[in-house]
Structure 1
């Protein structure tokens, strides 16, 4: 279970990551006690490298030690958001329009809490998903989690298709 990030800590994380031309996709505390991890997910348009993650980890580790914003022991983890990247900000739903996603809501909408389909973007405060023949408008504020769903079969088919 993740724990909320203090706004002052978030501001420091965002400042350090963006100063390197990277995007702070998401951050969270997970675990408890001496097993608490501060997980930082970073990205850039052409993807992050191991070197990017290592550099940001070193930068953040130093700054967080100096500013002493975390009053307990923690393990710092910096990584890419992965192929099944989470969607956290409204802009994510615009940026990844056309992708297949899985979305969970806090409350039932027409008897459902889990939606899978093609992301059609953001309409005012609603996320638009097409699931087969149905179109769903999900209020942004009702989303508990959402992530991109990769169709591995489709990726393998594309990889086997010769380039012309």
Structure 2
């Protein structure tokens, strides 16, 4: 995709995305057989719900139909949120990952896996998990020292969600009783 098309699409779509209180993370145009694929990735501090993606997709589709930003020919539009393991590249990504376990690739070589405890303009305060019963260790990482960072998926994450869970239901248990009966 040419830079000018990318800039034009960003200029066209960013106001629509911002109007929905979302951040435009990425625009990608690629080939899917004979058609082109326009993938628009959006996010917010509170995540993105499926309904918000559907609403935004309709608004983007209408806007693209009014203009020639995608040129002639067919294309497929996909509006999505970033995956759970997407790279952290912007300050806001680190803020949103506070409390999460992150694998850092360091510029000087090596890697470090730590939980982000706080973020400021210069870097992150993190906590390296203890091994074999040892206590976690606090550390400071400057953004300038980080080559890459990616959230690690935790299946057995222990956090404060239990305090927010409805009475009698474990934290993170969003399924209804009917769903559980169907699975049995």
Q: Report if TM-score (shorter chain) is over 0.5.
A: yes
Whether 1:119 aligns to 2:116 is yes
Task: Name 1:93's counterpart in structure 2.
Answer: 94
- Partners of 1:8 and 1:38 lie apart in 2 by 13
* Aligned partner of 1:154 among 153, 157, 161: 157
**Unaligned 5+ runs, structure 2:** 130-136, 171-184
**CA 1:130/1:45 → structure 2, altered by over 3 Å: closer, same or farther?**
closer
Task: Name 1:59's counterpart in structure 2.
Answer: 59
| More strand, by proportion | 1
**Unaligned 5+ runs, structure 1:** none
**CA 1:143/1:70 → structure 2, altered by over 3 Å: closer, same or farther?**
farther
Task: Name 2:14's counterpart in structure 1.
Answer: 14
SS in 1 for 2:52: helix
The offset of 1:148, in angstroms, is 2.5
* Aligned partner of 1:131 among 116, 128, 143: 128
Corresponding pairs, count: 154
Does structure 1 conserve the Cα–Cα contact (< 8 Å) formed by 2:23 and 2:44?
A: no
SS in 2 for 1:120: strand
Provide the aligned C-alpha RMSD in A. 3.8
The offset of 1:43, in angstroms, is 3.5
SS in 2 for 1:68: coil
The offset of 1:89, in angstroms, is 2.0
- Partners of 1:80 and 1:69 lie apart in 2 by 22
Whether 1:28 aligns to 2:27 is yes
Deviation readout 1:8-58 (Å, 9 max, x if unpaired): 3223222101212x3125113164475653322234455433222111111
Provide TM-score, normalisation by structure 2. 0.61
Provide TM-score, normalisation by structure 1. 0.66
SS in 1 for 2:156: helix
| Bigger Rg, structure 1 or 2 | 2
Structure showing greater relative contact order (alpha-carbon pairs closer than 8 Å, 6 or more residues apart): 1
